[in-house]
Structure 1
Amino acid sequence: MTSRMTRRFFLASTAAVSVARPALAQSQTVVEMLNKDPDNPRLRMVFSPRIVVVQPGDTVKFAATDPSHNSASIDGMLPEGAEAWNGKINEEIVVPFPTPGFYGYKCTPHAATGMVGLVIVEGAGMMANLEAAQGVKQRGRAAKVWEEIWAEVAEMEFATS
């Protein structure tokens, strides 16, 4: 009877791992849309974190933590073939990121105040749109925030294969 229970446990464990394996291949990152930065309350209208690094096929959930925000892609700041998104105000949106590259995004009503962020999808070809994304003209405080973001990116190391 002991060997039978062990065999059943083994078979059940193997089946559970086989079923769970595809779910482990993809993950979801949460970015909060906030009125105040949790680490520095003097900073207002922010995404937290403002830079995320994901793998192809992962999703990012932009959580409507505070009211009056959305997440929308920025024209010219997406890899070739990537789909743009435009979430509704006060609603969370889950965005898939299948293509390696740099994805700039904003809160539509607060972009000029610097409420912008970046999703980096690692993988082969990820650097193809970096220069174009960096060249997009930004307005207001967003220009300064993008300078800070690009400086952080320059210090990062990526898996490009």
Structure 2
Amino acid sequence: MIRTLISALALTALLGGAASAETHEVHMLNKGEKGMMVFEPALVKAAPGDTIRFIPTDKGHNAESIDGMIPEGVDGFTGKINKEVEVTLDTEGLYAVRCKPHYAMGMVMVIAVGDATTPDNFFEGRVPKKAKERFEEELGAL
């Protein structure tokens, strides 16, 4: 009887943790509330274990992490053009995401996982002017 109760409690705890993970949808758009070539939303606040689903609402877009602008030790991701991509983020920190074909046009977004703060070296790499402006706008909302 006690073994059954302990097993049931353990199973409930495991399933309860999995159920708390959330899926956030991000649309890749030619035109949105903030202008041309955008991710909506452009800022996602997520918890460790949450999944981000990038949806190519308009054609010609992809979603990929930017090397040097994700938490240290985390493998980046690259989605294919016109294909939905899902990523589960387990490590706290900031994740910069771009649409490679429209990066210079500022098609970027930020995912803040957990208690993320902007690292001092976040903009050390070469970031196109329009992309940097959009990053700074979203980081200001954290």
- TM category (shorter chain) comes to 0.7 to 0.9
Greater helix share, structure number? 1
Alpha-carbon separation, structure 1, partners of 2:45 and 2:119: 14
Largest Rg, 1 or 2: 1
Work out whether residues 63 and 100 of structure 2, in 8 Å CA contact, stay in contact via their aligned partners in 1.
yes
Correspondence list, 1:50-89, <5 A: 50-89=42-81
> Distance between the aligned counterparts of 1:72 and 1:140, measured in 2?
19
Verify the 8 A CA contact 1:47 1:115 in the aligned structure 2: yes
TM-score calculated relative to the size of structure 1: 0.74
The aligned residue for residue 112 of structure 1 is: 104
**1:4-83 matches, cutoff 5 A:** 18=12, 21-37=16-32, 39-40=33-34, 43-83=35-75
Matched letter for residue 64 of structure 1 = P
What is the alpha-carbon distance in structure 2 between the residues aligned to residue 100 and residue 106 of structure 1?
19
Please report the RMSD computed on the Cα atoms of aligned residues, expressed in angstroms.
2.1
Give the equivalent residue in structure 2 for 1:159.
Answer: none
Identity over aligned pairs, percent: 36
Q: Is the 8 A contact 2:45 2:111 kept in 1?
A: yes
| Conserved 8 A contact 1:46-1:115 | yes
Q: Which of the residues 77, 94, 97 maps onto 1:102?
A: 94
After TM superposition, the score normalised by the length of structure 2 is 0.83
